[in-house]
Amino acid sequence: MALLGLAACNTTIGGQKPVGGSVDTDAEIQRFLRHAYLDLSGKAPVDAELADATARLRDDGNTPSARAALVDELIARPAFAATWIEELENGIFGGATLTDQYAFVCGIIRGVVEACASCTAQDACTCQCGPLPQYLAERTDLATTAADLTGGATTSSVERRYAAAAGYFALAGSLEGRVRTLFDDFLARPAEPDELENGRAMIVGSLLPGSPAGLMFHRHGATYADLLDIVFDSEVYREAIVRRVFNRLLAREPSSLELQHFTPTLDANDPDARPIVRAVLSSREYFAQ
């Protein structure tokens, strides 16, 4: 399969006719637009949007750059960030929303922490007892992530905030379970036995200062914060970003050549998935779906 974004399948000759083919019909363009709007905003375009975008792409020759400009506009809208966060929460919370996750976790805590026995608030997270104020603060912070993403925060910085929250890993069970959950949700693969052991050592290190540190991806760490830094700064995470975008938008794994091409384009310390989303949606492969 040709490398996505590098094949010259939209090269044109005089009269805006694609080499070796015919001009895309309005029906084909509109199929692409409905698909792109649904993927990026969770809803189909209204009639006026569909008509305007169809004319725009048709007049511009429906080139990858023309599609990319349209995709950029859709990505910049609040609806894209809201959809991205909704899908992120659905994945890491097992189909639940942020509100549902914290209601469940806070309810459990209120039921087992003796100091919270007298709290009868309908929203258990608002109880001013035990660790519940921390959970309320986390929920309040995470509720702003869609607005932050629209405002320019990177997708990795948002994912790191979720991964750092006690409400995220509270239901993971054992320390090894926390490492498994982190790998499954953000690295798109299971943790190997040595990664489970070293991840566990780092988490224990945050509870017992001076305990042995763990080693992962050729970096040492002694706290859960160190583990998050190692995971989210790794090439493995950047590859996972590419894999997740391809699977989400093309329903396939990227080829080895595509991984080699796209992974280095992501910032090593603060990667953002949106350029990969842009490349995929503007490709001929996505258009032809």
61, 12 contact by CB (below 8 A):
yes
* C-alpha triplet 279, 184, 259: angle, nearest 5°: 30
Question: Cα–Cα distance between 124 and 114 in angstroms, integer?
Answer: 14
pLDDT per residue as tens, the chain (289 positions) = 456 654 434 443 334 444 445 689 999 999 999 999 999 999 999 999 999 999 999 999 999 999 999 999 999 999 999 999 999 999 999 999 999 999 999 999 999 999 999 999 999 999 999 999 999 999 999 999 999 999 999 999 999 999 999 999 998 888 999 999 999 999 999 999 999 999 999 988 866 676 667 889 999 898 899 999 999 999 999 999 999 999 999 999 999 999 999 999 999 999 999 999 999 999 999 999 9
Burial label for 113, CB within 10 Å (0-12, 13-18, 19+), is: middle
pLDDT of residue 60: 94
Query: Cα separations (Å) of 91 from 126, 250, 270?
Result: 26, 18, 21
Helix or strand run (H / E) with residue 205: helix 193-207
Question: Cα–Cα distance between 156 and 148 in angstroms, integer?
Answer: 12
pLDDT of residue 11: 41
119, 129 contact by CB (below 8 A):
yes
Model pTM greater than 0.85? yes
Amino acid at 53: A
Q: Where are the domains of the chain?
A: 26-75, 96-171, 235-287
pLDDT of residue 12: 33
Q: Quick one: tokens of 103?
A: 């209601």
pLDDT of residue 207: 65
Q: Quick one: tokens of 174?
A: 């054992």
pLDDT of residue 10: 46
